[in-house]
């Protein structure tokens, strides 16, 4: 992954400290735009099984030019004649009172310039460190995510921002959490790891998106381990084990780390359908699926429902699967690889796992005997 392609996701979580004392964390993302998907891909709050998660994170709201919270989609509004999406999301707590619901700020479409400016300005940081102003803006939601590019000069600003937030939240008995890159090279550029770890109560490490259509060759979205075909030192670090271990080696507290996975795969159109191995040249991203509707991306639900006839391969070095059909190649996680990743998290005494996202798991249970097979696999291993 290139530095310019990596974002910091900092979650400012207003949560009771007692909420994380029992069991392992299962942190689940809900993306509001999935309510607009067609057919079996449409996903809304009513599809969420809150019993499978300890935390539900909503994506995304924005940051206005005045550095105040901005609603990006009318779905999010609690206005009388709106959809009242936030109200429905918080309503999940009726069936599971201990569930923690957080809201995420930023995302790829928002960009990062405003967030970088905020982190670099003491006055703007102080405004963003004021939890009651956020809570007044978004009633009953329990967290906020800040997004910014991992530029070198922001390393210090990021830690300063976290410390100021921590000083505001800790007296209230509230948590501060963040989601961070799992790429070793970018990590060294982006973070003062001891400073970040000291300031945070929970760290979601995004050990995924190591490869994709942004490369010019085939690679798995989230290999657990390196491959013998990794022919450079940099390529040997593009895997989950290297990312998690580097956070630990740099001084992060394992009891704060959640191992991040994705329920989508990264797909490719091969330049030569006879050359299907890792690092084979590609023409570009794979064909878009009918639900995610994005070249180079296929949800697990799309793969298992629509492409179960593609030839299945298990990479016993990287401990992940991929499927091939003609010039189409997709690497993803299935129940086998998710189980191994959850067992890895347990072996490292990590806090738990983080999942992006509900909507590309098989949430309808079309492909097997149960819905949410990936999330259920995590729960079986962790708890």
Q: Give the model confidence (pLDDT) of 9-61 as tens digits.
A: 444 444 433 333 358 999 999 998 999 999 999 999 999 999 999 999 888 77
The DSSP secondary-structure symbol of 80 reads T
**Is the Cβ–Cβ distance between 359 and 299 less than 8 Å?**
yes
From residue 261, give the alpha-carbon distance in Å to each of 186, 210, 346, 351, 378. Answer: 18, 12, 15, 14, 10
> Within 13 A of 152's CA, how many CA atoms are on the CB side?
1
Domain ranges of the chain: 3-262+335-382
Q: How many helices (H) and strands (E) does the chain have?
A: 11, 16
Q: What percent of the chain has pLDDT over 70?
A: 77
Decide yes or no: CATH 1.10.540.10 for domain 3-262+335-382: no
The DSSP secondary-structure symbol of 202 reads E
Segments of 84-210 assigned E as strands: 100-105, 143-149, 177-181, 202-206
Query: For residues 171 and 42, which has the higher predicted lDDT (pLDDT)?
Result: 42
**What does the chain come to in residues?**
383
Q: Which of 207, 228, 183 is nearest to 318 (CA)?
A: 228
The structure's pTM equals 0.89
Query: For residues 36 and 90, which has the higher predicted lDDT (pLDDT)?
Result: 36
Q: Write out the H or E segment, with its range, that includes residue 158.
A: helix 154-169
What tens digit of pLDDT does each residue of 114-167 get?
656 666 666 555 555 554 344 433 434 444 444 444 444 478 888 887 888 778
């Amino acid at each position: 992954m290139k530095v310019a392609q990596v974002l910091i996701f900092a979650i400012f979580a207003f949560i009771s400290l007692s909420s994380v004392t029992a069991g392992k964390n299962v942190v689940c993302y809900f993306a509001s735009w999935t309510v607009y998907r067609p057919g079996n891909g449409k996903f809304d709050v009513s599809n969420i099984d809150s019993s499978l998660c300890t935390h539900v994170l909503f994506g995304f709201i924005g940051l206005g030019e005045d550095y105040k919270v901005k609603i990006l989609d009318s779905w999010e509004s609690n206005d009388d004649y709106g959809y009242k999406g936030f109200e429905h999301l918080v309503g999940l707590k009726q069936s599971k009172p201990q569930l923690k619901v957080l809201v995420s700020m930023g995302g790829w479409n928002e960009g990062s310039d405003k967030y970088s400016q905020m982190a670099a300005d003491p006055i703007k940081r102080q405004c963003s460190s004021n939890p009651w102003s956020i809570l007044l803006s978004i009633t009953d939601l329990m967290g906020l995510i800040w997004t910014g590019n991992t530029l070198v000069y922001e390393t210090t600003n990021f830690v300063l921002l976290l410390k100021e937030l921590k000083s505001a939240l800790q007296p209230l008995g509230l948590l501060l959490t963040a989601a961070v890159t799992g790429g070793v090279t970018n990590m060294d550029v982006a973070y003062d790891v001891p400073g970040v770890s000291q300031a945070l109560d929970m760290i979601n490490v995004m050990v995924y998106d190591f490869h994709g259509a942004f490369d010019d060759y085939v690679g798995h979205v989230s290999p657990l381990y390196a491959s013998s075909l990794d022919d450079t030192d940099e390529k040997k670090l593009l895997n989950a084990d290297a990312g998690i271990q580097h956070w630990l080696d740099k001084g992060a507290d394992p009891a704060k780390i959640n191992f991040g996975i994705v329920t989508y795969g990264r797909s490719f159109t091969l330049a030569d359908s006879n050359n299907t191995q890792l690092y084979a040249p590609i023409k570009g991203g794979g064909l878009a699926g009918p639900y995610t509707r994005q070249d180079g991306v296929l949800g697990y639900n799309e793969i298992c429902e629509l492409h179960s006839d593609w030839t299945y391969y298990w990479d016993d070095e990287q401990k992940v699967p991929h499927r091939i059909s003609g010039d189409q190649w997709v690497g993803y996680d299935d129940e086998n690889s998710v189980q191994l990743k959850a067992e890895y998290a347990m072996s490292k005494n990590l806090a738990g796992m983080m999942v992006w996202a509900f909507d590309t798991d098989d949430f309808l249970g079309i492909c097997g005997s149960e819905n949410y097979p990936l999330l259920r696999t995590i729960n079986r291993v962790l708890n």
